[in-house]
Chain A
């Protein structure tokens, strides 16, 4: 069975094999994702992040899970050479770029612990899958098309780009929108890693694919001229 809900302002789709136990696990996974949205959303005025940004909460008053996420964001900032950075102007933070992947991972973890043998958790085009699935890479120049089809098992797949929401990923080192790539897809062991590395590599632009490869992950980067650069390991996954 497959179900889509609106969470974090985006379509979140879960698919699990049919069965009552699995349906219950799917509901629990959706609940967890909604909890993450409630606590971390920068769009919800009463979320812990919004209250922290308004100075109504101090770091010490945050839930331990929120503190854990913020600590992980700081670790990722260092790991990516500053290309992944949740700090915004003033003292504000926007951990959305981490939280999305983390939420997917949390939902997937609930399914895994419930013993669901095969599933995917997809939030707005980023996903964690268990079992074998066929994943397409969307054409950044025509969203009706895919430009690649991959056969993947037990991985996280994340794509960064600016084309859909009209939002920009900024290069934290220049403060300007990253324009070197049209999109960059990372296949990694888990969605949190894939998502963070996709975001950081996209901000790096033309050098992003090389950097992802050097981290031991697979990627498919599409330049504004329609040329794709990809890791040899990714070729093994081509359908």
Chain B
């Protein structure tokens, strides 16, 4: 459960990055994709588009690799798979794995609880928390203490 949540949380975080990254199809004919590119650097791109004649959903079929982007806690690089003119898959080529960050994200998603079997403690304490004590119980325990002092 915990592992699944971590993965989901990380994906959710990266989901927003896909839009940020865009992907970088080199074909000049794809104005829609080019505008989302915003003229950003594509130095890291290693596009390997397979030839495709008819873009249906606006994107040319193929596999497009985005730039490596430093997201503050590591480097993220994604790859988009376009088929039938639509994005049909996203591959994560580089994903940071930072245990503390992941734990933090997991904590935000769902608190991690710990478990133990209870056992009597001998520590001295100043006061005790328990389900509401009534006055009778208090008097009884005081009486027991006084009896011991006799």
A135 to B121, CA, bound (A): 12
Q: Which residues of A contact B132 (CB under 8 A)?
A: 10, 100, 124-126, 164-165, 167
Contact check, A124 vs B134: say whether CB atoms are below 8 A apart: yes
State the total of A-B contacts with C-beta under 8 angstroms. 142
Q: Which residues of A contact B120 (CB under 8 A)?
A: 139, 142, 145-147
CB-CB under 8 A for A159 and B131, given A4-B138, A147-B118, A209-B113: yes
Which of B111, B124, B130, B138 has the most chain A CB atoms inside 10 A of its CB?
Answer: B130
Which of B113, B114, B116, B137 has the most chain A CB atoms inside 10 A of its CB?
Answer: B113
Contact check, A146 vs B123: say whether CB atoms are below 8 A apart: yes
Residue of A10, A210, A226 touching B134 (CB-CB under 8 A): A10
Within 8 A of B (CB), among A1-41: 4, 6, 9-11, 13, 15
Contact check, A135 vs B128: say whether CB atoms are below 8 A apart: yes
How many B residues face the partner with a CB closer than 8 A? 27
Contact check, A210 vs B130: say whether CB atoms are below 8 A apart: no
Query: Is A58 an interface position by the 8 A CB rule?
Result: no
A134 to B123, CA, bound (A): 9
B124-149 toward A: CB 8 Å interface, digit per residue (1/0)?
11111111111101100000000000
Contact check, B131 vs A183: say whether CB atoms are below 8 A apart: yes
Q: Which residues of A contact B128 (CB under 8 A)?
A: 125, 135-138, 146
A183 to B124, CA, bound (A): 21
Q: Which residue of B lies closest to A134 (CB)?
A: B125
Q: Which residue of B lies closest to A138 (CB)?
A: B130
Query: Is A79 an interface position by the 8 A CB rule?
Result: no
Contact check, A232 vs B130: say whether CB atoms are below 8 A apart: no
Q: Which residues of B contact A142 (CB under 8 A)?
A: 120
CB-CB under 8 A for A214 and B111, given A137-B129, A138-B130: yes
Q: Which residues of A contact B133 (CB under 8 A)?
A: 10-11, 124-125, 164
Query: Is B117 an interface position by the 8 A CB rule?
Result: yes
Contact check, A146 vs B125: say whether CB atoms are below 8 A apart: yes
Query: Is B119 an interface position by the 8 A CB rule?
Result: yes
Q: Which residues of A contact B121 (CB under 8 A)?
A: 136, 145-149
A120 to B117, CA, bound (A): 29
Question: B111 CB to closest chain A CB, in angstroms?
Answer: 3
Contact check, A235 vs B114: say whether CB atoms are below 8 A apart: yes
Contact check, A135 vs B130: say whether CB atoms are below 8 A apart: no
Question: B109 CB to closest chain A CB, in angstroms?
Answer: 10
Query: Is A93 an interface position by the 8 A CB rule?
Result: no
Question: A187 CB to closest chain B CB, in angstroms?
Answer: 9
Query: Is B115 an interface position by the 8 A CB rule?
Result: yes
Question: A208 CB to closest chain B CB, in angstroms?
Answer: 11
Query: Is A222 an interface position by the 8 A CB rule?
Result: yes
A224-239 toward B: CB 8 Å interface, digit per residue (1/0)?
0011111110010001
Q: Which residues of A contact B138 (CB under 8 A)?
A: 4, 6, 10-11
Residue of B115, B119, B125 touching A135 (CB-CB under 8 A): B125
26 A/B residue pairs, CB under 8 Å, sorted by A: A6-B138, A120-B127, A125-B131, A133-B126, A133-B127, A135-B126, A135-B127, A135-B129, A138-B131, A142-B120, A146-B125, A147-B119, A147-B120, A149-B124, A157-B129, A158-B129, A159-B131, A160-B131, A163-B131, A164-B130, A164-B132, A226-B117, A230-B114, A231-B113, A231-B114, A239-B123
When A and B form their complex, which 10 residue pairs have the shortest distance between CB atoms, in order from nearest?
A: A161-B131, A138-B130, A213-B111, A149-B123, A11-B138, A136-B125, A147-B118, A125-B130, A124-B132, A136-B128
Mark A residues whose CB is within 8 Å of B.
Answer: 4, 6, 9-11, 13, 15, 100, 120, 122, 124-127, 129, 133-140, 142-143, 145-149, 157-165, 167, 183, 185, 209-210, 213-214, 222, 226-232, 235, 239
